[in-house]
């Protein structure tokens, strides 16, 4: 019996056959002269997805967490102060990583469901007259709560305080799915990964680094070996790697970029908005509420949805998997037991999303949720029928 149901978690995402086959390559010599012909264009083309002319793309064999560690260890020193707001599980984990590295982590506590507090950042930076704060860390898209923060507003707040701190952005679950403007937003390091918008297997941390962040390496003295920017850039300059690269992922990345450019990045972003809006229409029809506190915070890659009082969201996601073989995101951190998540990013179409909505709707009905069976699917169908979406090019 086929188990090839799509997943509706916010990553890793469904892998299109085209990319799965692109990663099925035989072992090759990564020190051979022709490797540069494959690898160098990947680095250059990825800059287009980050929205940069000035930034330098650096990759490591790791998940996004490895990218966080690389960002911190290459630019900071023990005892340096960093400013970060905690408003979800992934901003919390970045805080934990910085604390383990002996940094002075200055935390702004925010309600889960809110976004990056630009004004509070501005106030903290304005009060830092001695410029002890060396970096501001922001999660662009918080997958635990389905919240997208306004990075341009954070940069505006930083500029208003005339503070020299670096701006680090986690865009793991937003890059290649929602617009990202590295140069225009004044980002210094952006951290992403291969397993979400790029629709690949987990295993490649993908960073974009500004000239200002590269200059910070000259004084940074946190220990680093595997994640050393300088070692990686020196090897990349001649088309190589300082150690064995994730060859299959590099080939997959080359094909992923082709797919994204064939569809057109603007069309990719429009498709993700469309899928997200369909999920939001369904959520409203069910009479349920999103965790994100206001429409300006709604993520186009994941929706976190509160279950009614007296229900357990973990029991719902378990039932959806056990009864129907489909995975949805569990509630993380403060959302554990209170909310489930529908991932709607990567290789997905209107029809695939409708199948996910129908499945979670059946699971809710099975568990006696106060919903009308078919209501959410019908609301999404009505929305999707208004102007048909262009299918993903070469999704097969």
pLDDT tens profile 64-82: 999 999 999 999 999 999 9
Average pLDDT of the residues of the chain: 95
Residue 37 in this model has a pLDDT that exceeds 90: no
CA 71/CA 219 separation, integer angstroms = 14
Q: What is the pLDDT of residue 69?
A: 98
Q: Are 255 and 20 in contact (CB under 8 A)?
A: no
Non-local (6+) Cβ contacts of 147 within 8 A are: 87, 88, 113, 114, 115, 141, 291, 292, 293, 297, 298, 299
Q: Which two tokens stand for residue 223?
A: 């220990």
CATH 3.40.640.10 residue window(s) in the chain: 17-261
Lowest mean pLDDT among 6-10, 27-31, 74-78, 207-211: 27-31
Residue 390 in this model has a pLDDT that exceeds 60: no
Q: What is the pLDDT of residue 98?
A: 97
Q: What is the pLDDT of residue 159?
A: 95
- The closest of 288, 294, 344 to 316, measured between CA atoms, is 288
CATH of 17-261, one of 3.40.190.10, 3.40.50.300, 3.90.1150.10, 3.40.640.10: 3.40.640.10
pTM, two decimals, is 0.95
- In terms of Cβ atoms closer than 10 Å to its own Cβ (0-12, 13-18, 19+), residue 4 is exposed
- Angle, alpha carbons 168-172-174 (nearest 5°): 100
pLDDT tens profile 46-60: 999 999 999 999 999
pLDDT tens profile 191-201: 999 999 999 99
DSSP string for residues in 302-363? EEEEEPPTT--HHHHHHHHHHHH---BBPP-GGGTTTEEEEE--SS--HHHHHHHHHHHHHH
Q: What is the pLDDT of residue 30?
A: 84
Length of the chain equals: 396
Q: Which residues pair with 148 in a beta bridge?
A: 141
Residue 392 in this model has a pLDDT that exceeds 70: no
Q: What is the pLDDT of residue 27?
A: 86
Residue 152 in this model has a pLDDT that exceeds 90: yes
Q: In b/e form, how buried is each residue of 185-196, taking b as 16+ CB within 10 angstroms?
A: bbbbbbbbbbbb
Residue 35 in this model has a pLDDT that exceeds 90: no
pLDDT tens profile 348-366: 999 999 999 999 999 999 9
Residue 2: band (very low, low, confident or very high) from pLDDT cuts 50, 70, 90: low
The 104-109 sheet, strands edge to edge: 56-60, 205-209, 189-193, 166-170, 133-139, 81-86, 104-109
Q: In b/e form, how buried is each residue of 281-309, taking b as 16+ CB within 10 angstroms?
A: bbbebbebbbbbbeeebbbbbbbbbbbee
Q: What is the pLDDT of residue 147?
A: 98
pLDDT tens profile 241-264: 999 999 999 999 999 999 999 999
**Under CATH, which number does the domain 265-385 receive?**
3.90.1150.10
Residue 1 in this model has a pLDDT that exceeds 80: no
Q: What is the pLDDT of residue 115?
A: 97
Three-state DSSP class for 205?
A: strand
CA 242/CA 386 separation, integer angstroms = 51
Residue 178 in this model has a pLDDT that exceeds 50: yes
Q: What is the pLDDT of residue 306?
A: 98
Element (H, E) at 109: strand 104-109
Q: What is the pLDDT of residue 389?
A: 55
CATH 3.90.1150.10 residue window(s) in the chain: 265-385
């Amino acid at each position: 019996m086929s188990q090839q149901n799509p997943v509706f978690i916010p990553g890793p995402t469904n892998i299109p056959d085209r990319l799965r086959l692109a990663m099925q390559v035989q072992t090759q010599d990564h020190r051979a002269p022709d490797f540069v012909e494959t690898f160098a264009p990947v680095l250059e083309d990825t800059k287009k997805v980050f929205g940069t002319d000035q930034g330098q793309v650096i990759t490591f064999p790791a998940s996004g967490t490895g990218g966080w560690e690389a960002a911190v260890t290459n630019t900071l020193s023990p005892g340096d102060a960093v400013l970060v707001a905690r408003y979800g599980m992934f901003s919390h984990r970045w805080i934990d990583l910085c604390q383990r590295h002996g940094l002075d982590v200055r935390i702004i506590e925010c309600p889960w469901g809110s976004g990056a507090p630009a004004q509070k950042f501005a106030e903290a930076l304005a009060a830092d007259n001695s410029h002890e704060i060396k970096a501001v860390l922001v999660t662009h898209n918080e997958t635990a709560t389905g919240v997208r923060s306004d990075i341009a507003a954070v940069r505006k707040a930083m500029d208003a305080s005339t503070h020299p701190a670096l701006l680090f952005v986690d865009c793991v679950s937003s890059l290649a799915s929602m617009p990202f403007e590295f140069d225009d937003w004044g980002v210094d390091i952006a951290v992403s990964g291969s397993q979400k918008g790029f629709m690949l297997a987990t295993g490649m941390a993908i960073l974009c680094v500004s000239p200002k962040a590269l200059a910070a390496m000259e004084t940074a003295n946190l220990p680093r070996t595997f994640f050393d920017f300088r070692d990686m850039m020196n090897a990349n300059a001649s088309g190589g790697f300082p150690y064995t690269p994730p060859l299959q992922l590099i080939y997959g990345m080359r094909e992923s970029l082709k797919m994204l450019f064939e569809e057109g990045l603007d069309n990719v972003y429009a498709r993700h908005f469309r899928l997200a809006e369909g999920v939001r229409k369904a959520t409203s029809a069910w009479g349920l509420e999103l965790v994100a506190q206001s429409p300006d915070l709604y993520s186009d890659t994941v929706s976190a949805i509160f279950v009614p009082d007296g229900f357990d969201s973990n029991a719902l996601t378990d039932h959806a998997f056990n009864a129907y073989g489909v995975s949805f995101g569990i509630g993380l951190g403060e959302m554990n037991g209170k909310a489930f998540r529908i991932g709607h990013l990567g290789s997905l179409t209107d029809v695939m999303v409708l199948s996910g909505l129908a499945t979670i709707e059946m699971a809710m009905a099975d568990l006696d949720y106060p919903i009308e069976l078919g209501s959410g699917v019908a609301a999404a169908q009505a929305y999707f029928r208004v102007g048909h979406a262009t299918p993903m090019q070469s999704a097969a």
